[in-house]
Structure 1
Amino acid sequence: MKQIIQEQNFHYLSTLAVFTLVLFPSYSFAEECPVTNAAVVSNAGDSNALGSISQSFNIPPGYETISGRIKFLSNEWPRWFGTEYNDTYLARFAAPGKMSILASGNVNSSSWGAGILGYNGATPEINYTLDVAGLAGKTASLYYEVRDVGDTIVDSALAVDSVKVIRTQQYLPAGGGSFNGNGTIAGTYGQGVKLTFKNLNVLGTTLSVKDSSPFGQTKELILLPLQSVTFTFTRFGEEPMGWSFDVSTKSDAFVVSYSMESTWVTGMPVNPCY
């Protein structure tokens, strides 16, 4: 069989399938999420001498970095090191508008140490990171291959650790609008919501914003002409969650615009880990 894939906990992979919760004063979010399980891809047992695996996944909003690590394994080392039997490996990323080689190499260009998983030699861990800013909501693909060179007898493999998407933005745009009188802002958002209001009138105005959830806060002030203010509301619980804000004024002339940011926005799964 040309391709061998084994999901297992390699003894050098101590953080397999683990994500971390970072605690803030009143809310939290997953700062990194695994998207690939640990696997071994081998070129063993086929005349084409190529083993490969690939995976596709969606990139959540706010997650703009991908990181991972691999190890190249081979039985070409030490006996066939420096010869024409120079097996190769490749890790590649592809998404609409972006392609990148994450890691590549061969037997002769690698440093070798004691083997693992039944192979004579193993390289040190090969770590990589990739900036994926601007790709939120798009489908990305990861591709790994290991290829025999010069023979189809002596095998090599690639050990793939869990690949992670890493969150880089705490708050994300979540919409906006305007008011010329009392009204309500309601929807499904995250544990933290920021509301920024701007007075579009040439007169000052009173502004009151009430979080209508149990124990919700009310924030109010006098907003001067063309002045802006940002109110931040936080609540503990599972994202996404429902919010409703009552916006009101005691002034006769009231014209304000508003924009929203949230720790959860449409496009993020209920749990952004894959």
Structure 2
Amino acid sequence: MTQTTGPALKPRHVLGISGGKDSSALAIYMRDRVPEMEYFFCDTGAELPETYEYLNRLEAALGKPIMRLNAERDFDHWLEVYQGTLPSPQMRWCTKNLKIKPLEQWVGDDPVTSYVAIRADENRLGYVSTKPNIQAVFPFREEGIDKEGVNRILDEAGIGLPDYYEWRTRSGCYFCFFQRKQEWVGLKDRHPDLFEKAVAYEEKVRHRDTAMRGRHYTWSQGESLHELIERREEIEAKHQTAMERAAKRIKPNRPLLEVLSDALNADDDEAGCSVCHL
């Protein structure tokens, strides 16, 4: 007797929202092209208030909800699992457990097409799952859509940019270790309560590590947040010089975000998390 199989499963179409401009623009761009698209946001429990506000604006523009993942296992849960060790560029357990695993668990073994917001003017890949049932596609790269195209999509949709771009160049947790020194200063000015929470994490880890191993983990590589703020005047002076230098390189009347993004100085690390900062 010949065994028959049922019809092949139709692939799910999913698009991850980071809270940044590129993934948000891609969501708008694909809204009418793939009506069955499922949008998701990996909520670490440590996002900026501006990020949550922007997600609400984006949901209104999309006309459908954005699935929030990680409702039960946020950053604090995984911090305990890793025995109080802060994530860092060398050990990015936050990306693994708060971004990649939730996505892969959510889609399970379903055939999935994942839409990734890498622009045509970028030379990076972003996160591409190694699971055989998840196929990544790059609409912006395929359609030749660059940074100006992204800004145009957001402007025409009436949602513009997230407010944190007034002082920060990337989305992500308020205590992200990829933040520039000046962005930590900006966090203290804009959200002093969140800055103090970041300090509290650092202090808690410092006491534990000193007692157990004599190590000293910090959010900003090379110095604690207290030490960083003590250098505030120096950091701001370097940032101002970098901003003036960047403004001269960029065409007049360009958005502030472009000047901020180009205003690197010796304290800054240009690399970022390819999952969080789309």
Band of TM-score, shorter chain: under 0.3
Give the structure-2-normalised TM-score.
0.21
Q: Could you say which structure has the higher helix fraction?
A: 2
Q: Could you say which structure has the higher strand fraction?
A: 1
Give the structure-1-normalised TM-score.
0.21
